[in-house]
Amino acid sequence: MKNILQRACWLGMLMLASCATLPDEYRPHTVGSLNDGQTNNGLVIQLVARDSIAQFGKPVIFQVVVLNTSHLAFWIPQKPQQGFFWTAPNGRHDCYFFDREQVRFFNKKDCILLQPGHSMVLPGLVDTADFSYPGITEFKAEIDVAQNSNPELNPFWSGRAFSNSFGVQLIPYKLPGRVVLSTPAPDLSPHRSPPVKL
């Protein structure tokens, strides 16, 4: 019996110790850009929002800046596949899914030769119609480019690159002020009917 109690006591202490060391769930707390993003084969993605405050039901409009930080020029699609990830104020993660291509034949007219130090700007939009948690939501953009099978476009950038995180303050949608026209209140005082002559 003594051994059972000792084991139970040790197990309880281990459980308490493990619970004490669990990190708190991350919750966004900064409006604006949080970091510089990740570099992948000479490509950096920078995410910038037009406004740092947005209302539920209205889209958050971004600019996704694709920058060539290498010392070589490379081809890249003018409209690469683009995704968005976000962390809600309560710590919940969500994203926009898209079909990923492994290999694709890219035409020259659909691509751009991005020179070293140059960038191109892509539009980005996240619909907030289904968002329901007010507060700061952190967004992150992704660029995904399949391997190019067109030998004329060489060197060609392919792979996945992720942007910096960008916090946007989401607020509930406010209805515009309603104009109420005043109407005269009905007369509810008791009325006496005129006397009846016999």
Sequence spans of domains, the chain: 31-171
Is residue 27 predicted with pLDDT exceeding 60? yes
Distance of alpha carbon 43 from alpha carbon 76, whole angstroms = 10
**Per-residue pLDDT at 145:** 96
Poorest-pLDDT segment among 41-45, 76-80, 128-132: 128-132
pLDDT digits 0-9 by tens, 77-119: 999 999 999 999 999 999 987 788 899 999 999 999 999 999 9
Taking a C-beta distance cutoff of 8 angstroms, is the pair 89, 135 a contact?
Answer: yes
Check: CATH 2.60.40.2360 for 31-171? yes
User: pLDDT band for position 38 (50/70/90)?
Assistant: confident
Pairwise pLDDT comparison (41 vs 191), residue with the higher score: 41
Mean confidence (pLDDT) of the chain: 82
Which residues, 6 or more positions from 57, have their beta carbon under 8 angstroms from its beta carbon? 128, 129, 173
What pTM was computed for the model?
A: 0.74
Q: What percent of the chain has pLDDT over 90?
A: 63
- Can you read off the two tokens belonging to residue 104? 């694709």
Decide if pLDDT at 175 tops 90.
Answer: no
Q: What per-residue confidence (pLDDT) applies to 69? A: 96
How does residue 24 score in pLDDT terms, banded at 50, 70 and 90? low
Do the strands 147-148 and 103-104 form a parallel or antiparallel pair, or are they unpaired? parallel
Q: What is the pLDDT of residue 30?
A: 93
Q: Which residue has the higher pLDDT, 13 or 38?
A: 38
Q: Residues 29-56: what's their mean pLDDT?
A: 90
Query: Which residues, including other chains, have CB under 8 Å from residue 11's CB and lie 6 or more apart?
Result: none
What is the predicted pLDDT for the residue at 100? 84
For the cut 60, the answer to whether the pLDDT of residue 19 exceeds it is: no
**Residue 143: strand pairing partners:** 82, 161
In what helix (H) or strand (E) does residue 2 lie, and over which residues does it extend?
Answer: helix 2-21
